Amino acid sequence: MGFYPDVLLYLDDEKEYQAEILRLAAARYLYTDGFDIRPASFLRYAFETFKGWLGLGNHCQQEKIQLGLLKFAYYGYLKGFSQERLSLLPFQQISASLFTYLCAPRTNQITEILQNSLIRFYVSHVQPHVATEGEPLISSDTYSFGRTWANLACWTEIPKLDPQNNALIAETAQQLKNHPSRYVFLQNSQYALAVATLWLEEIKSSRRSYRVTNFIRKLFNLSKDAKEIVEKALHFAPDIHKQDKNFFINFYLEKKDFDAAFNLIETLEDISEAITLLTTQFSKAQLLKYIKKDSSLAIALSRHYLAEDTDELDIIRFAAQFNSNLEKEFTAQGFLLLVAEKRYKEAYQLYINAEKNSAFFIADIEKLAEYFETQSIAKEKEAKLFKKQKNWEQVKSLALEGIEFIKMALLLDNRERRQELRAIHRCLYAEALIENDSNHAVENCNIGDINKSINLLRKCYFTNSMQQKTHLFLLAKGLMRQIDYQIHSLLPFSYEIHYHFEQYTKEHSTAINNVTVRLKELIALLEKTNDEKLKVILGKAYFLLGDTIKFFGLSENFHPYFEAAMKTVPTNPFYVLRCSEITESEKERARLQEKGVPLLKDLNYTVYDYDHWDCQRWWKDKIPEATPIADIHQLGIVQKSGWGINLS
């Protein structure tokens, strides 16, 4: 009997098992009686060989040793012991694939392969040597692994072998159904699942009068004994809960074993059923604990709590904890949450990136617009403080930030007051660009900044008269700075004037024309002004237009422009003296000179200074020492004073 393939009586733990492998591997000779295998001495080996020669049975016979090693290795496989040292054993008659199976984790398929291999090896190599006369022989085609113990009615020995034959399993389960004491079995084995299933079916059959759904709902009516049987079934086969998930979900929920219940719920194929169980049986705190954010279950749960018109912040905030991309499906709710949490820039990005015709709650849009408007006003106030200090770099930076804030507010809610606030910021920014540039000589002008300031100012519109006046002054000043730069870029060198003037004029005709066009635009903008500061700019524009026409010999009459300059700024001696030069009336010339020369002297200039200025006024290579006169237009006025007026 000991040599039967399903007779395994080993009791080794893993430490003992590993030690035994080393002991067997180190032995030169081995001995087995079928029940056990152990090292043998040479004398024992010789004695057994002699017995075999006499026909009395050789316990050191190679086939019996190989079967003993296989059974011992199968025992280690069943127990889940490490098989790393298995290759040390002197296996001789097993295939590489069989050895691989012995070292693999236990599965029903591998177990069946190993059991059949043991049976075939016994039948082919050992049975002929151990079978006694009259003893029925085992057939590898019909024999079930474990049948030896069934024949002996030793039913408790069968479960520990992990039997795979369904008939033997059913027979064993029935025999051990009411077994009074515990016995060894393998959890989640075929046998354990069969026993667990049998117990559960008995519980359910006792309640057949209920529909299954009703039974599940009224699971709490199970008797104490029935619950103990369920626990016993789980002890035998923990995986049995996969066969009837709803039954065990409710069983776990009744026990308040939420960990186990959730582990099953998240495996349900019907996700709506899972959501119903979660929302009715779990608290919100538990949901946050168990559900992994952005999992399919989490996404479904967030959808459960939200609808297109959901506007309750607490619900939205709770749902958002399960779905990182809540705003993609529930844009309005995602927007509401971002605004409520003061994540304003994220809310704005969501708004501008949302699909066309996406719905938002108006109150949230207005709240976000109000925030950006408030930020814009704060930047305006801060910029004006730096404006008083003439710190134009700070003004520029703050005004630009203010523009960005108010642009965002306008995109959200295009109210008139916000349009005006945008204009105020644009004016502040433009003024900073102009004033900052005015600190530098015209040859170092940042024309890009000046052009930018002009473009911004042209976009501004005000209804308040004071704001209109300030806006007009800034635009005029920016345009004049632009013209000054164009004229400076146009200036020829003195030798070009004396020797190549006609050619120079021809080559620069486009630039000359651009200057006259810009001057006429500026004149048209200011010709009706009564403001003294604007008249200074207007007078300069008239004079420069006339002087450009005169110097380059353009076909247009320059007289009216010089006269307009003098009329606009009658106290400017340079305008008066220029008019005295072009008049054809001797009497008028004398009158104008009598007026202009004293005005010139009041500025501590002489007629000699005037003549030298007049001679080289269009030279790029002026000689500063020739005359103290530099700027004939801003007389007695500090050009860098920053005449901007508060726009608010």
SS3 13: coil
What would the two tokens of residue 53 be?
Answer: 């020669």
User: Between these two residues, 201 and 73, which has the higher pLDDT value?
Assistant: 73
- Tokens 């016993």 map to which residue? 232
- Tokens 């006792």 map to which residue? 206
Q: Label the pairing between strands 37-40 and 29-32.
A: antiparallel
Lowest-confidence segment of 326-330, 433-437, 588-592 by average pLDDT? 326-330
Domain presence at residue 171:
yes
> What value does the mean pLDDT take over residues 344-368?
93
Asked whether the predicted pLDDT for residue 214 surpasses 60, the reply is no
Task: Give whole-number Cα distances, 86 to 12, 23, 184, in Å.
Answer: 15, 12, 25
Question: Same structural domain for residues 40 and 136?
Answer: yes
The pLDDT of residue 643 is: 31
Question: Same structural domain for residues 522 and 587?
Answer: yes
Smallest CA-to-CA distance from 317 within 295, 277, 288 is with 288
> What value does the mean pLDDT take over residues 281-304?
95
User: Tell me: the pLDDT tens digits for 443-489?
Assistant: 999 999 999 999 999 999 998 999 999 999 999 999 999 999 999 99
Domain presence at residue 63:
yes
Question: Same structural domain for residues 65 and 175?
Answer: no
Domain presence at residue 387:
no
User: Tell me: the pLDDT tens digits for 62-75?
Assistant: 999 999 999 999 99
- How many structural domains does the chain have? 3
210: containing domain? 159-324
Asked whether the predicted pLDDT for residue 341 surpasses 90, the reply is yes
Spatial distance between the Cα atoms of 572 and 596, rounded to a whole number of angstroms: 8
Domain presence at residue 105:
yes
Asked whether the predicted pLDDT for residue 220 surpasses 50, the reply is no
Domain presence at residue 433:
no
> What value does the mean pLDDT take over residues 387-415?
95
Question: Same structural domain for residues 125 and 174?
Answer: no
Spatial distance between the Cα atoms of 580 and 558, rounded to a whole number of angstroms: 14
Spatial distance between the Cα atoms of 539 and 565, rounded to a whole number of angstroms: 4
CA atoms within 13 A on the CB side of 558: 23
Spatial distance between the Cα atoms of 471 and 477, rounded to a whole number of angstroms: 10
The pLDDT of residue 641 is: 31
The pLDDT of residue 149 is: 95
Handedness of CA 368, 374, 376, 379 (dihedral sign): negative
Question: Same structural domain for residues 186 and 271?
Answer: yes
Question: Same structural domain for residues 100 and 172?
Answer: no
- Per the confidence metrics, is the pTM higher than 0.95? no
Asked whether the predicted pLDDT for residue 381 surpasses 80, the reply is yes
Q: What is the mean pLDDT of the chain?
A: 91
Q: What angle is formed at CA 250 by the lines to CA 247 and CA 254, rounded to 5 degrees?
A: 135
- Tokens 């749902």 map to which residue? 319
Spatial distance between the Cα atoms of 266 and 264, rounded to a whole number of angstroms: 5
Question: Same structural domain for residues 170 and 77?
Answer: no
> What value does the mean pLDDT take over residues 179-205?
88
Under 8 Å between Cβ of 220 and 254: yes
Task: Give whole-number Cα distances, 459 to 29, 30, 427, in Å.
Answer: 105, 104, 10
The helix (run of H) or strand (run of E) holding residue 38 is strand 37-40
The pLDDT of residue 207 is: 60
Domain presence at residue 622:
yes
The pLDDT of residue 221 is: 58
Spatial distance between the Cα atoms of 557 and 550, rounded to a whole number of angstroms: 8
Question: Same structural domain for residues 139 and 170?
Answer: no
Question: Same structural domain for residues 198 and 256?
Answer: yes
Domain presence at residue 391:
no
The pLDDT of residue 640 is: 36
Spatial distance between the Cα atoms of 559 and 554, rounded to a whole number of angstroms: 12
Under the banding of pLDDT at 50, 70 and 90, the label for residue 382 is very high
DSSP state for residue 123 in the 8-state scheme? I
User: Between these two residues, 357 and 331, which has the higher pLDDT value?
Assistant: 331
Spatial distance between the Cα atoms of 496 and 269, rounded to a whole number of angstroms: 91
User: Tell me: the pLDDT tens digits for 591-641?
Assistant: 999 999 999 999 999 999 999 999 999 999 988 888 899 889 987 543 333
Under the banding of pLDDT at 50, 70 and 90, the label for residue 215 is very low
Asked whether the predicted pLDDT for residue 367 surpasses 90, the reply is yes
Domain presence at residue 238:
yes
Smallest CA-to-CA distance from 415 within 471, 380, 372, 476 is with 372
> What value does the mean pLDDT take over residues 380-392?
95
Asked whether the predicted pLDDT for residue 350 surpasses 90, the reply is yes
Under 8 Å between Cβ of 566 and 576: yes
Query: Domain boundary at 268, 289, 324, which?
Result: 324
The pLDDT of residue 92 is: 86
Query: Domain boundary at 324, 347, 370, which?
Result: 324
Asked whether the predicted pLDDT for residue 383 surpasses 50, the reply is yes
Question: Same structural domain for residues 269 and 133?
Answer: no
Under the banding of pLDDT at 50, 70 and 90, the label for residue 208 is low
Question: Same structural domain for residues 136 and 230?
Answer: no
User: Tell me: the pLDDT tens digits for 20-36?
Assistant: 999 999 999 999 999 99
User: Tell me: the pLDDT tens digits for 125-142?
Assistant: 999 998 887 778 899 889
Task: Give whole-number Cα distances, 41 to 31, 44, 46, in Å.
Answer: 9, 5, 9
The pLDDT of residue 636 is: 57
Task: Give whole-number Cα distances, 8 to 12, 37, 537, in Å.
Answer: 11, 11, 114
Spatial distance between the Cα atoms of 334 and 325, rounded to a whole number of angstroms: 9
Question: Same structural domain for residues 122 and 194?
Answer: no
Q: What angle is formed at CA 564 by the lines to CA 558 and CA 569, rounded to 5 degrees?
A: 135
Chain Cα centroid distance, residue 353: 15
Q: What angle is formed at CA 585 by the lines to CA 602 and CA 607, rounded to 5 degrees?
A: 25
Asked whether the predicted pLDDT for residue 219 surpasses 90, the reply is no
What are φ and ψ of residue 38, in 5° steps?
Answer: -150, 165
Spatial distance between the Cα atoms of 334 and 336, rounded to a whole number of angstroms: 5
CA atoms within 13 A on the CB side of 233: 26
Asked whether the predicted pLDDT for residue 560 surpasses 70, the reply is yes
- Tokens 């600190």 map to which residue? 439
Q: Under the phi-then-psi rule, with left for phi > 0, alpha for psi from -120 to 50, and beta for the rest, what region is 431?
A: alpha
Residue 41 neighbours by CB distance under 10 Å: 12
Amino acid, res. 468: Q
Spatial distance between the Cα atoms of 279 and 275, rounded to a whole number of angstroms: 6
Asked whether the predicted pLDDT for residue 210 surpasses 90, the reply is no
Taking the alpha carbons at both ends of the chain, their separation in whole angstroms is 109
Query: Domain boundary at 304, 324, 344, which?
Result: 324
Spatial distance between the Cα atoms of 65 and 71, rounded to a whole number of angstroms: 10
Handedness of CA 288, 290, 294, 295 (dihedral sign): negative
CA atoms within 13 A on the CB side of 577: 19
Spatial distance between the Cα atoms of 625 and 20, rounded to a whole number of angstroms: 114
